[in-house]
Amino acid sequence: MGVCSDTNYKIRTDGAIFFKEYFRDNHAALIGTSRMENTYIPELCELINDEETFIKIESLEAFSYILETLSCELIEKEIIPSFLKLLNTENQHDEVMDRMSAIIGPVTSKLFQKDDMHLKY
């Protein structure tokens, strides 16, 4: 059973935080590896679509370290919809808004590097 399949919120949160910190520290060594493609990316795609906002934010931050290496198709299918949902400020409290404002710049910058994807959204 993968991290994202666990029903315990804390396990999924810890998994998302692990990916964020692991990608931050090791992204250069992981790019293009089969483990990244076959294990980490699918797990992270599940976590970015989690029902819990903070798990989505941690996952988005993890993706921000490797975004420029992902296919446009994966970005459009898995990341952009969750990113846009997180930008919906209705019913979001200050901590969520603070975290999102810190992520928007790096994510948009990397989307700019991917065939001007930032212009589509």
Q: What is the pLDDT of residues 7-57, one digit of tens each?
A: 888 999 999 999 999 999 999 999 889 999 999 999 999 999 999 989 999
Q: What is the pTM of this model?
A: 0.83
How does DSSP assign 71-83, residue by residue?
-HHHIIIIIHHHH
| Reported confidence tier of residue 64, pLDDT bands at 50, 70, 90 | very high
- On whether residue 93 sits in a domain, the answer given is yes
Range of the domain at 39: 3-116
Tokens linked to 25: 């520290």
- On whether residue 121 sits in a domain, the answer given is no
**How far apart are alpha carbons 95 and 22 in whole angstroms?**
23
- On whether residue 48 sits in a domain, the answer given is yes
HSE-CB for 107 with a 13 A CA cutoff: 24
